[in-house]
Amino acid sequence: MAATKALLMLENFIDGKFLPCSSYIDSYDPSTGEVYCRVPNSGREEIEAAVKAAREAFPSWSSRSPQERSRVLNQVADLLEQSLEEFAQAESKDQGKTLALARTMDIPRSVQNFRFFASSILHHTSECTQMDHLGCMHYTVRTPVGVAGLISPWNLPLYLLTWKIAPAMAAGNTVIAKPSELTSVTAWMLCKLLDKAGVPPGVVNIVFGTGLRVGEALVSHPEVPLISFTGSQPTAERITQLSAPHCKKLSLELGGKNPAIIFEDANLDECVPATVRSSFANQGEICLCTSRIFVQKSIYSEFLKRFVEATREWKVGIPSDPLASMGALISKAHLEKVRSYVRKALAEGAQIRCGEGVDKLSLPARNKAGYFMLPTVITDIKDESCCMTEEIFGPVTCVVPFDSEEEVIERANSVKYGLAATVWSSNVGRVHRVAKKLQSGLVWTNCWLIRELNLPFGGMKSSGIGREGAKDSYDFFTEIKTITIKH
């Protein structure tokens, strides 16, 4: 029998040490469908050890000045930046995304997360008011909460993990993080940089495993007063139930069913390529991706023709292919789920304009069992269809016509989600009007995914609770206290 390549074995990182686990989970390379890594299948025991370490590290870390904590965060950023290529290669292999995207978006943004919060922590001010007639002065102070439980998803593994770790650390908390068991490699690699950067043992603990075992142990632990979660709505419901007896602080960033609204005065030369990107970037596996495209009737045919042509140009290829616009989906189960939506659309009488079942996907022989799917465009579909109401989280988007501004706002707002929207129009008055009426936490006009990290990020309705950003993350990761002094 031919010798098999040794599997990458991950270990938990608790109290500054790598610790083996008694059982492991297989992790797959999405581009080949082969097991290439083993992830600790942690549970209550590992969480107890992590809580103990985090609680012991808290007094010292929280009493450091913001300037000292900022220096440590900048050190982490510098070390991560020096290893950018190594991290990008690992993220692409682990998640299935293109190497180009990991190089230009995921890892640079992870570096930026540390730098951004290293800077913003130095610029917060507190409030003070006086009541001269009573001889009183009132002021506020903010203090770190304690041990922060951070649960991050598989679509942007290091990008979203660091978006939580950096502000939690900056504010003076200690951390127990649980990355997705599907994409744990870059979190494990990050642990190797922490000691070098001067992060004291116990300040950041990373425990790997499934939501059911380790996630539930973390969320239900009475000594973890705060949970920040990015992921699906059903998981968020479970987190809320488990947190309720302890009155935990919760930040929940959940799904989206994001509309793009394209008015007849839109610049299609800019709008078409940007909407292809907003629909299919990272295989459509971004909570901010567009999955419902409403096009004003007078330009519907022209837009659809150009959009389908541009979608067909998006090459699906192995993640290391520099010409690939899209890589592999995360797992076999997820690929099957996404494909099932296309089958449901066909059963309802919709048309598949390109992609799944229409065009041929060509892949190298060793990647035939990988989780690849062509970007797929659906038309002639009702607003009530599951493809128009449920989050598919894959390379599938629906294009439908509309008549009037009032009608499209009502239709865009008709789903349970309210995360993001894009509006395309050259009429400034209309852009402001529509943006204000859309039930979305973020509205991009004539662009997509241009982020200003100072400002609030998060969704309305079933897209979550709370916001993230410079001030919002600081508020979440601290407790505010009002102090009154009578003199």
Q: Which residues of 371-402 are buried (b: 16+ CB within 10 A; e: fewer)?
A: bbbbbbbbbebeeebebbebbbbbbbbbbbbb
The answer to whether 254 and 272 are in contact (CB under 8 A) is no
- Helices 157-170 and 66-82 pack at an angle, to 10 degrees, of 160
β-strand partners of 204? 175
Active site residue 253: yes
The sign of the CA dihedral 344, 350, 351, 355 is: negative
Q: Which of 253, 285, 356, 468 is catalytic?
A: 253
Work out whether strand 376-379 and strand 396-402 pair parallel, antiparallel, or are unpaired. parallel
Q: How far apart are CA 440 and CA 421, in angstroms?
A: 6
Residue 126 identity: S
Q: Distances in Å between the alpha carbon of 411 and those of 38, 102, 329, 352, 437?
A: 45, 35, 29, 22, 12
Q: How far apart are CA 256 and CA 251, in angstroms?
A: 16
Q: How far apart are CA 21 and CA 33, in angstroms?
A: 24
Closest CA to 373 of 421, 412, 334: 334
For the annotated catalytic residues, the residue numbers are 253
